């Protein structure tokens, strides 16, 4: 929307050679002539313009109609005296069959730019479209405007209203009224059916109280069932719209149209899909919108390009039902579903949680069950990836559901793809840990898979390939499981860490360095739990590629969140005060700390609070504990994280000497989260009064939060 101003309009009326520009200004909705000056100055400028010799009676009517249109369309841009001005000049609202006050109060208004094609050119003109549930209208369009429409155009307007009501059954009690921004009785007529699509979009939007964004225009005939039909003169229309609009929605039946500079052509086949796309429009994403228009019609394009558009778009159109046909195509095709599953797994592995959750929501659970017969391996992989996603967010009930679904398919998976079955156990163990269920016994099925993979590994090793990634990852998960089971299993933790590092290529394949180094992280945590500070220090230094802990500060700028979490835990447990202080100062100013940081930054903040305590900086300790609590209790995280809030709450308890108000407010939520774990791990703790529970965690945090859960 451009600010023109009534005073500038007066200037144009007095300027020679500006008549064409003056006319175009009056025809444009986006050239606002209301302005925030004194009401007296505006009234004076209005009367000067209206009675200028540059204006015929016809053009004076257009000026009033433009003021009325802007008043209805942009209430937020009106000066505070606008209502008084409209009452002082009642003729401005003469084009309405009801009072201006009612039009502003009862209707939701949208502008609908349309393209009028003449003998050799095309021009953009506007309709103003409103919908109201509490206001009767004598007709859809006023008599003064009907004369400027041929029979086809008038029929398209009436059909647009009927179509909008049929597509929006929940909003079909809205009464629609519209008028064109053209002079009363002026020259020029709207002809043909191509204004059907822009009018239908404006009607649907106004019925739903949605504002159509500026920057978009549409052309196309529309059937009563919402199907968009081809129109003529697309190249001429594109040229008329270029420079004023970023996107034009046109009938897919027209095929590929020749592009014009500065405008993107987006084909649509139904009015409903057009509205879904229009609501997603923003100038910076217009090219992605054109891609998305193809995706919502073709399952192949959808799967292949799912990473090329904002995932929020997919969520929105799915919720509106615009993806139902594509989802059915994917679910009915084992090949297409396998492709989607592969992309889903990749997103989960990369911790791209937002996009991964979008894909998870695509396929209804009932369809997953039907695909057990047609695509059992893909269904298993889909369930396993969902298990991983749920446990990453600490959503215990969701993880349990997907673990059950996966277990029912594991025999089929093992027959088709042993590695997928092995991956399931990686996620299975982590899901158990999220429930605070720490058991050293390994499932019999896992022993069978391990036996097969180890035989494969021996053959590979003999052939000169010392790396077996799936086996190494499985060893690493078993190492982690023993780490959670406590110091009594330190030997098993060390054993499986060594096995994992070897199978993941330690010292042989640099590309897998991140994989095998993770085991050093696990071993360091286990050694800290067992009180083996020298061994923990050795593992920490190997993990961080340093020779001594005092070199931690040299790595701060390029450390991962996992490296920071371990460094803070080590320094809080056993760090030299000088090193701890240097790290606290440097890392505290650079590392992401807000609630959006997620795991493991709630533990990093908790241990930073502990470091601040050892440095006798209680105010900063309180701040760190508070940040940790904010992350633990954030809405996007599940029960696993919420329970961890007891750690920083115990820190506040140590400083205050009593539970503070924050602890009391969170205690019920935390106890509910403990119940969701579905086992008796926290039975004793949650039965205690809050103060005693915090005291227990203060005395023995490792009892409740072992390994890398603190």
d(CA 623, CA 612): 10
Q: For residue 31, what pLDDT band results from cuts at 50, 70 and 90?
A: confident
Please, what is the angle between helix 690-699 and helix 661-676, to 10°? 80
Decide: 297 and 286 in contact? Cβ < 8 Å: no
Predicted pLDDT of residue 343:
95
**By mean pLDDT, which of 167-181, 273-287, 395-409 is the weakest?**
167-181
Decide: pTM greater than 0.85. no
**Mean pLDDT value across the chain:** 90
Instruction: Determine the Cα–Cα distance for residues 70 and 64; give it in Å rounded to an integer.
Output: 10
Report the alpha-carbon distance of residue 328 to residue 330 in Å, rounded.
5
Say if residues 632 and 648 touch (Cβ distance below 8 Å): yes
Phi, psi of 188 (to 5 degrees): 95, 135
Question: What is the share, in percent, of the chain residues with pLDDT greater than 70?
Answer: 98
Taking the CA atoms of 65, 70, 75 and 79 in sequence, report the sign of the dihedral they define.
Answer: negative
Confidence of residue 20 (pLDDT cuts 50, 70, 90): confident
Which tokens sit at 46? 């209005």
Per-residue pLDDT at 595: 45
Any idea which residue has 């215990």 for tokens? 396
* pLDDT tens, residue by residue, 336-376: 999 999 999 999 988 888 899 999 999 998 888 888 888 99
Other beta carbons within 10 angstroms of residue 90's beta carbon come to 10
């Amino acid at each position: 929307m451009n600010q023109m101003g009534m005073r500038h309009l007066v200037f144009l009326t007095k300027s020679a050679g500006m008549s064409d520009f003056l006319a175009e200004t009056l025809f444009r909705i986006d050239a606002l002539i209301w302005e925030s000056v004194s009401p007296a100055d505006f009234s004076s400028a209005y009367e000067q313009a209206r009675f200028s010799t540059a204006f015929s009676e016809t053009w004076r009517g257009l000026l009033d109609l433009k003021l009325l249109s802007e008043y209805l369309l942009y209430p937020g841009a009106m000066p505070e005296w606008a209502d008084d001005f409209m009452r002082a000049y009642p003729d401005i609202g003469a084009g309405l069959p009801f009072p201006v006050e009612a039009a502003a109060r009862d209707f939701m208004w949208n502008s609908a730019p349309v393209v009028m094609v003449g003998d050799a050119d095309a021009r953009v003109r506007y309709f103003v479209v409103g919908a109201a549930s509490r206001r009767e209208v004598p007709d859809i369009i006023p008599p003064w405007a009907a004369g400027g429409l041929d029979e086809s155009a008038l029929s398209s307007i009436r059909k647009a209203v009927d179509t909008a009501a049929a597509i929006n059954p929940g909003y079909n009690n809205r009464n629609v009224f519209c008028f064109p921004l053209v002079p009363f009785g002026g020259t020029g007529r709207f002809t043909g059916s191509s204004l059907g699509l822009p009018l239908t979009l404006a009607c649907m939007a106004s019925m739903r109280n949605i504002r159509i964004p500026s920057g978009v225009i549409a052309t196309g005939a529309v059937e009563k069932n919402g199907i968009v039909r081809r129109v003529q003169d697309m190249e001429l229309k594109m040229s008329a719209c270029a420079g004023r609009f970023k996107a034009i929605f046109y009938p897919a039946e027209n095929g590929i149209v020749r592009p014009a500079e500065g405008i993107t052509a987006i084909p649509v086949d139904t009015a409903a899909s057009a509205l879904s796309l229009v609501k997603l429009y923003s100038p910076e994403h217009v090219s992605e919108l054109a891609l998305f228009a193809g995706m919502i019609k073709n399952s192949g394009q959808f799967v292949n390009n799912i990473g090329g558009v904002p995932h929020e778009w997919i969520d929105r159109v799915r919720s509106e039902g615009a993806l139902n046909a594509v989802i059915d195509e994917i679910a009915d095709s084992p090949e297409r579903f396998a492709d989607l599953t592969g992309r889903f797994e990749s997103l989960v592995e990369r911790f791209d949680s937002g996009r991964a959750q979008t894909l998870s929501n695509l396929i209804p659970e009932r369809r997953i069950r039907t695909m057990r017969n047609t695509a059992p391996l893909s269904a298993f992989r889909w369930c396993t990836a969902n298990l991983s996603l749920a446990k990453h967010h600490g959503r215990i009930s969701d993880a349990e559901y997907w673990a059950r679904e996966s277990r029912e398919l594991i025999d089929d998976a093992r027959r088709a793809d042993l590695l997928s079955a092995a991956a399931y156990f990686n996620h299975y163990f982590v899901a158990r840990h999220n429930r605070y269920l720490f058991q050293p016994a390994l499932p019999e099925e896992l022993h069978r898979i391990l036996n097969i993979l180890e035989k494969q590994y021996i053959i590979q090793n003999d052939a000169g390939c010392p790396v077996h990634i799936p086996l190494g990852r499985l060893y690493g998960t078993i190492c982690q499981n023993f780490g959670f089971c406590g110091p009594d299993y330190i030997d098993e933790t060390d054993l499986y860490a060594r096995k994992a590092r070897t199978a993941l290529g330690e010292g042989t394949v640099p590309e897998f360095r991140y994989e095998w180094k993770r085991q050093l992280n696990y071993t360091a945590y286990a050694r800290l739990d067992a009180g083996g500070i020298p061994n923990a220090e050795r593992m920490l230094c190997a993990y961080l590629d340093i020779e001594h802990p005092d070199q931690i500060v040299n790595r701060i700028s390029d450390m991962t969140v996992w490296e920071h979490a371990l460094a803070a835990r080590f320094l809080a447990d056993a760090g030299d005060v000088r090193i701890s202080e240097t790290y606290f100062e440097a890392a505290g100013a650079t590392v992401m700390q807000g609630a959006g940081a997620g795991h493991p930054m709630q533990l990093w903040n908790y241990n930073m609070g502990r470091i601040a305590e050892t440095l006798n900086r209680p105010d900063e300790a309180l701040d760190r504990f508070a940040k940790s609590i904010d992350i633990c209790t954030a809405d996007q995280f599940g029960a696993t994280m919420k329970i961890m809030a007891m750690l920083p709450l115990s820190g506040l308890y140590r400083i205050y000497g009593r539970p503070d108000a924050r602890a009391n407010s969170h205690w019920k939520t935390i106890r509910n989260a403990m119940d969701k774990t579905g086992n008796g791990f926290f039975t004793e703790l949650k039965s205690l009064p809050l103060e005693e529970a915090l005291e227990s965690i203060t005395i023995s945090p490792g009892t409740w939060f072992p390994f890398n859960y603190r």
